[in-house]
Amino acid sequence: MHQAYFFDMDGVLLDSMPNHAEAWRIVMQEYGIDFPPRVCYINEGRTGMDIIRWLGDHNNRSFTPDEVQHIYDEKTRVYHELGGGKPLPCIREVLETLQGKAAIWVVTGGGQYDLYEQLEHWFPGIFVREQMVTAHDVTHGKPHPEPYLTAWQRSGFRKEDCCVVENAPLGIKAGKAAGLFTIGVNTGILSRSDLSMAGADRVFNDMREVKKWLAV
């Protein structure tokens, strides 16, 4: 077992990616931009603002700062309207296995101001505000190493004592670029090879396998 675990949120703590992908698809359609689920999952990990700029660049569109903010707000609204996220199967058991034995951090590209309240709602007593790195804490989102480097620096642990838990190729790249042991849990529609090719040190099919691995 490592001494600190840096958990990504969407697709790791919360089964939220289907609704994120659908919300993005609906909102971008209003701008005449096709954003199919696989492309969404491949780009998962970028901050919302980065995704909007990336979509603009790939569709010969440039969005004003007001448009970017409007798209982001709309996407957040539709995501919640669709039902948001709920805990992934077996993630509570994974967190309970670690509780009291290792530091538990959240490192997410999400920037909703009620993220902590959402986590507290789903996982009461597990997370603390001081052990969160969100879109508001970094200049560069994943795949840049900054989010995980920020968590590592704030945590005070040695790099070899930290483990990143990710579901997305760009998140895995961010963890590896930060020089951290990184596991990939394939909870979405991508293939295992998408995660191993991104550099994951270990790839698991689901949280049940992660729990077994932690218990060894």
Binding site for Mg ion (CB under 5 A): 8, 10-11, 167-168
DSSP 132: E
Q: What are phi and psi of 34, to 5 degrees?
A: -85, 125
Question: 122, 128, 32, 24: which is closest to 79 by C-alpha?
Answer: 24
Question: 65, 53, 45, 47: which is closest to 28 by C-alpha?
Answer: 53
Gap between the Cα atoms of 10 and 17, Å rounded = 6
Smallest gap from Cβ 151 to Mg ion, in A, equals 15
Smallest gap from Cβ 61 to Mg ion, in A, equals 26
**Which residue number, 42 or 82, has a Cβ lying nearer to Mg ion?**
42
Smallest gap from Cβ 167 to Mg ion, in A, equals 4
**Which residue number, 134 or 167, has a Cβ lying nearer to Mg ion?**
167
Smallest gap from Cβ 154 to Mg ion, in A, equals 20
**Which residue number, 52 or 168, has a Cβ lying nearer to Mg ion?**
168
Determine contact, residues 113/13, Cβ cutoff 8 Å: no
Gap between the Cα atoms of 138 and 135, Å rounded = 6
Question: 97, 102, 136: which is closest to 116 by C-alpha?
Answer: 136
**Which residue number, 17 or 71, has a Cβ lying nearer to Mg ion?**
17
**Which residue number, 21 or 98, has a Cβ lying nearer to Mg ion?**
21
Smallest gap from Cβ 168 to Mg ion, in A, equals 4
Determine contact, residues 88/15, Cβ cutoff 8 Å: yes
The residue with its CB nearest to Mg ion is 11
